[in-house]
Amino acid sequence: MPARPPDPADPPTDPWHRFARGFVLAAIGLVAGYLALAFLLDPYDSGRSRLASVGAVRPQGPRTAAALRGRDPAFGAAIIGNSHIQLVEPERLGRLTGLAFVQLAIPATGPREQLVVLDWFLRHHPAPRAIVLAPDDFWCTDDPTLRNDKPFPFWLFAADLPDYLRGLMRYAVAQEVIERIGWLLRRKRPHARADGWWDYEPDYLKQGFGSDPRHAAARERPVPDEPDPGRGGPFPAADALRAALARVPAATPVVVVLPPVYRAALPRPGTPRAAAEAACKSALAAALASHPRSALLDWRRDGPDAGDPALFFDRSHYRHALARPLAEAVAGALARLGAGAQP
């Protein structure tokens, strides 16, 4: 009886083909198993899976910790910006306003990242009690992509599940999955502050700011008369702010703070740099005015003591002695907007 010719649908009998097929199937199974484990454990506690959520922030950087802090129902109000607003204590602001604030400031971020954090907060707090935003020089870029060279986990805050799953397929995230397992298995788990406040003063002091004359000399160096490249306008961050504010409920008070800077960071009057700064402020103010319950605090120009070197580590990072009155000014603006009263 003649042998049956091979059927292409038959499984391969060649050892190499069997090995290759088994390897591919094993790899697919491994990837699927890892994705399922990572999704269920939710390494940064984004809330997409509640299986391993214990309601506490595992010690980590603010970029990833914002996923849990930004969705925490214990906080109805948020401070959003970068290191130029992070010294404002949410507890102090809470005592002054009666609102529960979370500090969502993330160092070295610009408008794109900060608006992503705002969107995340709004998605988990449809009726926030107050929003404090702190746009700085980074918001005055003319780059329509609002690009920032510093890394940021946009995938973690993505609204689309496929984007989130792709983000889980990273070596650093796989390490975090292991770290989270170890943290969950501990009897006494170390916790980070739930409200996100981080005092940078000790770190600056350790680096010699406030005592090293080289840092003092850098602080006193004046800015040039010409604007930095890409900072002359137009200002797409203002358009992005307007679009973001359209998603904020009309009853929610919004305070935009232009953070304090040292006198050397202010351009000389009448220079192109001063004109560019004024144009950027005007664009941001116009965007803010689109929200019916809003206020602008220009502590870049109108705040007190901008010429006191004892209040600044460098040209843009200030100390507690300035952060405390800034918090009081923010609280005053919120009070004028009726924050604290249920809408």
Q: Please report the DSSP string for 309-334 in residue order.
A: GGGBSSSS-B-HHHHHHHHHHHHHHH
In a domain, residue 7? The reply is: no
Q: What would the mean pLDDT of 271-281 be, rounded to a whole number?
A: 96
Rounded Cα distance, 256 and 272, in Å: 25
In a domain, 16, yes or no: no
**Residue linked to tokens 């400031």:** 105
Q: What separation in angstroms does the CA of 224 have from each of 143, 261, 277, 312?
A: 21, 15, 13, 20
Q: Is the pLDDT of residue 166 over 50?
A: yes
pLDDT at 6: 58
In this structure, which amino acid lies at residue 145?
T
Predicted pLDDT of residue 340: 66
Q: pLDDT by residue (tens digit) across 31-78?
A: 788 899 999 999 999 999 989 899 899 999 999 999 999 999 999 999
Domain contains 46: no
23, pLDDT greater than 70 = no
Rounded Cα distance between 258 and 85, Å, is 9
Does the pLDDT at position 175 exceed 60?
yes
**Range in 15-29, 55-69, 72-86, 94-108 the model is least confident about:** 15-29
Question: Which tens digit of pLDDT belongs to each residue from 204-229?
Answer: 999 999 889 999 999 999 999 999 99
Domains identified in the chain, total number: 1
Report if residue 45 sits inside a domain.
no
- The pLDDT assigned to 69 comes to 98
Q: What's the pLDDT at 1?
A: 53
Q: How far apart are CA 219 and CA 264, in angstroms?
A: 7
38 DSSP assignment: H
Which pLDDT score, from 0 to 100, does residue 8 have? 58
CATH at 130: 3.40.50.1110
Residue 343's pLDDT band, with cuts at 50, 70 and 90, is very low
- Whether residue 70 lies inside any domain: the answer is yes
Token pair recorded at residue 285: 């103010």
Residue 23 inside a domain? The answer is no
Q: Are 204 and 210 in contact (CB under 8 A)?
A: yes
Task: Grade residue 260 by pLDDT with cuts at 50, 70 and 90.
Answer: very high
% pLDDT > 90, the chain: 81
Does 29 score more than 90 pLDDT? no
Query: What is the arithmetic mean of pLDDT over 155-164?
Result: 96
User: Is residue 175 included in any domain, yes or no?
Assistant: no
* Cα 111 from Cα 134, distance rounded (Å): 10
Domain interval for residue 106: 58-152+193-336
Element spanning 11, H or E:
none
Residue 178 maps to a domain: no
**Who contacts 333 (Cβ-Cβ below 8 Å, separation ≥6)?**
255, 295, 297
pTM summary value: 0.90
CA distances from 296 to 55, 63, 129, 207, 290 (A): 34, 26, 17, 33, 12
How confident is the prediction for the chain on average, in pLDDT?
A: 92
Q: In the beta sheet, which residues pair with residue 153? A: none
Over the stretch 298-324, which tens digit does the pLDDT of each residue have?
999 877 777 899 999 999 999 999 999
318 bridge partner residues: 312
Per-residue pLDDT, 4: 58
